[in-house]
């Protein structure tokens, strides 16, 4: 993993010394059927601080989210340090810090753990020291090891500010940074920024005139998507030469960090696995009752059918919130702003769902064995279970990434996933029946092949297409 | 010009559909064993082929949308998906009626029938996904990915009769040696041509409708924005 050091203005190449920290040219952003931002052009030099003011719905948030790279402009472009912000290389995001309406925080992790994850994803140097400095600067040193869910709104906002500034970005974007803060914290805001990001260009939105007076060098007013800003900030030249183009964080480092984060969250919250387990046990009971007439004579067939039906339904249920939970908390934005390959988010989610589904499936295997007196607990069956749960997870992860902005996700998820997962269930049943010697061993290998191919195809397609679903 | 094109395309449909119907009922002879019920083949096979074509176009339109981000590719994808679902429904329904007469049952869990039903569900899911996402740009992106993924079901349906033991007749036109007498083959090809013209017209009209709907939403938004400004 490359370690990024914030650019020291004195050491920048000569030709890039006058490169603005941020330039926005002819920016038009459409949301729905409406141009929320129209033809906005401006530039900000390193160290300058600009307040964006305007009434509710005027386009302030959309402007900041577009500069941050969370929204794709309809026309125009944004350059950060001379580098196009829409570049497919996510390394550029290392130079941007963003605090949205909701701080990008994981409630079941402590303040320190939240910052550690951010530091790993952004490749911060000397993370322990920087995290301690940040926590004390935002006034959370004493609460560093408390879970964020116990924090007040104001404390969460302060941690959000610290997170946005942890990696010393060149461009700091703050959407209403004073929201939820007490008067003392609002007063300290300029000092916090000066200490953590002394050279950053800061663009922030606010409704509070005191914050504007304390923090801003200049004010830009947004009215109906148009920005009126003092003349010297209007970008009139072509984008200047780029400063150093930072690397993105390594795929493996990012993926393992995200898997660790999800596993730790599940371990503490215990939201998914226990619920899904009870759900599958309930299905086992219902099936046992429903097929009581053939349970004695066709025990193996009923057991395998029951096992795979319940595992598929559990995975579908678990997958519904796989990406949506991050979206609802606002943390998905935080991940998409990190200098990582978006595919690492996808792969991490796939691994987490695979682990959860396998755990639920393994416990269900034991339960069904006992309930129907079928010897399912054996090496080959567990192998078939591992391969099948991986294939099911590959299908469901893909669809989970598609429904994050949809209504009625609980209905959509099975509607989309189950038809595509039917061949996987067939293969799972075939492979399991083979291990029980109901069918000849030679006949089970094609099923294993089908499971491996399904996993490979859906995982590859998902990884390839996921970046398209993000913006 | 578009009006002339529309008129000519409807005229073409009328002619080719008329000829196809004439051939179906008056030129193609009755089948020796099945009698007249086999004539369902002239609706069933073109419907299935057009469904494959439609879903192929969905995948192409979806991929082009993700690359170009032009709404017209999305319009093509959704129009083709709706036509594809319609043709698949027609293929399933005619197949079921034929099955009742020949096999004695309305439905068999046969690989070709099952995979076709799965394909129908996949594209019904695609349409449901679109219905449940409100933000237009997000709707286009997400459904484009679903439109590409759905195409995996087409080879599954096509090769199902070869990969698994199936009651469903194997292809009688593309298989070596053919199998259909000349008059029946000619009628089938005429019906395919008629259904293809129908598909083209349905897709074009649906695309125009989608464009008009989008334009109406744009105008409404602009009107609201103007009203807000004047206030």
Span B27-72, pLDDT tens digits:
888 877 788 888 999 999 999 999 999 999 999 999 999 999 999 9
Span A256-276, pLDDT tens digits:
999 999 999 999 999 899 999
Q: Answer yes or no: are the C-beta atoms of A281 and A125 closer than 8 Å.
A: no
List of chain A residues whose C-beta atoms are within 8 Å of the C-beta of residue B225? 34, 224
pLDDT recorded at residue B1 = 66
pLDDT recorded at residue A113 = 97
| Interface check A468 vs B, CB under 8 A | yes
| Interface check B222 vs A, CB under 8 A | yes
| Interface check B6 vs A, CB under 8 A | no
Average pLDDT over residues B173-196: 82
Q: Do B222 and A34 touch (CB under 8 A)?
A: yes
Average pLDDT over residues B191-215: 95
Q: Tell me the C-alpha distance between B53 and B199, whole Å.
A: 9
Q: Do A402 and B118 touch (CB under 8 A)?
A: no
CA–CA–CA angle A389, A393, A394 (5° rounding) = 120
Identity of the residue in B122, B135, B148 whose CB atom sits nearest the CB atom of A405 = B135
Identity of the residue in B153, B221, B228 whose CB atom sits nearest the CB atom of A32 = B221
pLDDT at B164 over 80: no
Q: Which of B88, B119, B133, B227 to mutate to test the interface with A (most CBs of A within 10 A)?
A: B133
Q: Which of A225, A398, A406 to mutate to test the interface with B (most CBs of B within 10 A)?
A: A406
Mean pLDDT of chain A: 87
User: Domain extents for chain A?
Assistant: 9-233, 251-470
Span B69-105, pLDDT tens digits:
999 999 999 999 999 999 999 999 999 999 998 889 9
pLDDT at B181 over 60: yes
pLDDT category, A11, cuts 50, 70, 90?
very low
Q: How many CB atoms lie within 10 A of CB A234?
A: 12
- Per DSSP, the three-state class of A28 is strand
Structure token pair of residue A74: 């309809």
Question: Which of A397-401, B164-168, B180-184 tops mean pLDDT?
Answer: A397-401
- Per DSSP, the three-state class of A418 is helix
Q: How many CB atoms lie within 10 A of CB A294?
A: 10
pLDDT at A177 over 90: yes
Contacts of residue A47, Cβ cutoff 8 Å, sequence gap at least 6: A9, A198, A199, A200, A201
pLDDT recorded at residue A239 = 53
pLDDT recorded at residue B177 = 56
Q: Answer yes or no: are the C-beta atoms of A40 and A227 closer than 8 Å.
A: yes
pLDDT recorded at residue A381 = 86
What percent of chain A has pLDDT above 90? 54
Q: How many CB atoms lie within 10 A of CB A86?
A: 14
Residue B108, exposed/middle/buried by CB under 10 A (0-12, 13-18, 19+)?
Answer: middle
| Interface check A30 vs B, CB under 8 A | yes
pLDDT recorded at residue A231 = 64
Helices (H), A138-272: 153-165, 183-196, 209-215, 251-269
CA distance B135 to chain A (A): 5
pLDDT category, B111, cuts 50, 70, 90?
confident
Q: Answer yes or no: are the C-beta atoms of A433 and A304 closer than 8 Å.
A: yes
Span A23-82, pLDDT tens digits:
888 889 988 777 888 888 888 999 999 999 988 888 899 999 999 988 889 899 898 888
Contacts of residue A225, Cβ cutoff 8 Å, sequence gap at least 6: A29, A35, A36, A37, A38, A40, A58, A59, A62
Helix or strand run (H / E) with residue A172: strand A171-175
| Interface check A423 vs B, CB under 8 A | yes
Structure token pair of residue B1: 């010009």
Which CATH superfamily hosts domain A9-233?
P-loop containing nucleotide triphosphate hydrolases (3.40.50.300)
What percent of chain A has pLDDT above 70? 90
Identity of the residue in B118, B149, B217 whose CB atom sits nearest the CB atom of A398 = B149
The DSSP bridge partners found for residue A84 are A79
Span B130-154, pLDDT tens digits:
999 998 899 999 999 999 999 999 9
ipTM of the complex: 0.86
Judged by CB atoms within 8 Å, which residues 70-99 of A form the interface with B?
Answer: none
Residue A451, exposed/middle/buried by CB under 10 A (0-12, 13-18, 19+)?
Answer: buried
CA distance B131 to chain A (A): 9
Structure token pair of residue B78: 């959704």
Residue of B nearest to A405 (CA): B133
pLDDT category, A339, cuts 50, 70, 90?
very high
pLDDT at A155 over 70: yes
pLDDT recorded at residue A8 = 40
Q: In whole angstroms, how far apart are CA A422 and each of A410, A438, A463, B64, B206?
A: 19, 21, 21, 28, 31
Q: Answer yes or no: are the C-beta atoms of A444 and A434 closer than 8 Å.
A: yes
Residue of B nearest to A36 (CA): B225
Judged by CB atoms within 8 Å, which residues 212-231 of A form the interface with B?
Answer: 224
Q: Tell me the C-alpha distance between B89 and B92, whole Å.
A: 5
| Interface check A153 vs B, CB under 8 A | no
Which of A153-167, A377-391, B202-216 is predicted with the least confidence, judged by mean pLDDT?
A: A377-391
């Amino acid at each position: 993993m490359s370690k990024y050091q914030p650019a020291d203005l004195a050491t920048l190449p000569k030709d890039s010394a006058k490169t603005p920290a941020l330039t926005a040219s002819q920016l038009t952003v459409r949301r729905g059927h409406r141009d929320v931002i129209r033809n906005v052009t401006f530039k900000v030099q390193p160290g300058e601080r600009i307040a964006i003011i305007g009434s509710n719905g005027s386009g302030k948030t959309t402007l900041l989210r577009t500069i941050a790279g969370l929204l794709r402009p309809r026309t125009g472009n944004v350059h950060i340090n001379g580098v196009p912000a829409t570049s497919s290389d996510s390394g550029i995001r290392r130079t941007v810090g963003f605090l949205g309406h909701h701080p990008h925080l994981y409630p079941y992790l402590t303040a320190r753990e939240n910052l550690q994850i951010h530091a790993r994803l952004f490749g911060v140097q000397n993370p322990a020291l920087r995290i301690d400095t940040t926590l004390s600067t935002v006034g959370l040193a004493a609460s560093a090891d408390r879970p964020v869910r116990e924090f007040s709104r104001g404390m969460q906002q302060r941690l959000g500010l610290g997170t946005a500034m942890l990696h010393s970005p060149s461009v700091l974007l703050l959407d209403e940074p004073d929201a939820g803060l007490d008067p003392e914290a609002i007063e300290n805001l300029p000092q916090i920024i000066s200490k953590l990001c002394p050279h950053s260009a800061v663009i922030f939105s606010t409704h509070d005139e005191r914050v504007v007076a304390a923090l801003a060098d200049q004010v830009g007013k947004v009215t109906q998507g148009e920005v009126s800003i003092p003349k010297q900030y209007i970008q009139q030249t072509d984008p200047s030469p780029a400063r150093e183009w930072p690397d993105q964080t390594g795929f493996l480092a990012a993926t393992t960090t995200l898997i660790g984060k999800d596993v730790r969250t599940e371990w503490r919250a215990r939201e998914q696995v226990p619920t899904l387990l009870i759900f599958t046990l309930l299905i086992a009971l219902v099936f046992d009752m429903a097929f009581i007439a053939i349970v004695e004579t066709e025990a193996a067939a009923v057991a395998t059918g029951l096992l795979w039906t319940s595992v598929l339904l559990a995975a579908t249920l678990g997958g519904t919130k796989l990406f949506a939970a991050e979206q609802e908390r606002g943390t998905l934005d935080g991940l998409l702003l990190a200098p990582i390959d978006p595919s690492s988010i996808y792969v991490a989610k796939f691994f987490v769902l695979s682990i959860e589904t396998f755990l639920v499936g393994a416990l269900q295997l034991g339960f069904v064995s006992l309930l129907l007196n079928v010897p399912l607990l054996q090496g080959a069956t567990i192998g078939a279970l591992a391969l099948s749960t991986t294939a099911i997870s590959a299908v469901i992860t893909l669809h989970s990434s598609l429904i994050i902005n949809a209504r009625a996700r609980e209905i959509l998820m099975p509607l989309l996933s189950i038809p595509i997962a039917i061949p996987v269930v067939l293969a799972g049943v075939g492979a399991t029946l083979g291990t029980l010697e109901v069918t000849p061993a030679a006949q089970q290998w094609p099923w294993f092949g089908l499971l491996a191919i399904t996993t490979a195809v859906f995982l590859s397609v998902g990884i390839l297409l996921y970046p398209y679903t993000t913006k | 010009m578009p009006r002339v094109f529309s008129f000519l395309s409807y005229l073409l449909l009328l002619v080719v559909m008329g000829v196809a119907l004439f051939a179906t009922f008056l030129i193609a002879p009755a089948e020796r064993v099945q009698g007249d019920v086999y004539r369902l083949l002239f609706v069933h096979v073109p419907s299935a082929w057009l469904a494959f074509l439609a879903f192929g176009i969905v995948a192409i339109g979806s991929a082009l949308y993700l690359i170009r981000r032009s709404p017209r590719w999305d319009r093509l994808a959704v129009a083709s998906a709706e036509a594809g679902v319609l043709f698949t429904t027609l293929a399933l329904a005619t197949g079921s009626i034929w099955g009742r007469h020949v096999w004695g049952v309305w439905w068999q869990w046969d690989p070709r029938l099952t995979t076709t039903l799965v394909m129908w569900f996949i594209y019904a899911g695609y349409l449901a996904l679109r219905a449940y996402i409100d933000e237009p740009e997000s709707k286009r992106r997400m459904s484009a990915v679903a439109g590409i993924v759905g195409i995996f079901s087409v080879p599954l349906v096509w090769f199902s009769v070869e990969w698994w033991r199936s009651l469903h007749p194997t292809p009688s036109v593309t298989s070596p040696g053919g199998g259909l007498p000349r008059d029946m083959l000619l009628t089938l090809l005429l019906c395919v041509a008629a259904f293809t013209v129908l598909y083209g017209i349905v897709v074009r009209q649906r695309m125009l409708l989608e464009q008009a709907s989008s334009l109406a939403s744009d105008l409404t938004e602009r009107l609201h924005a103007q009203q807000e400004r004047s206030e």
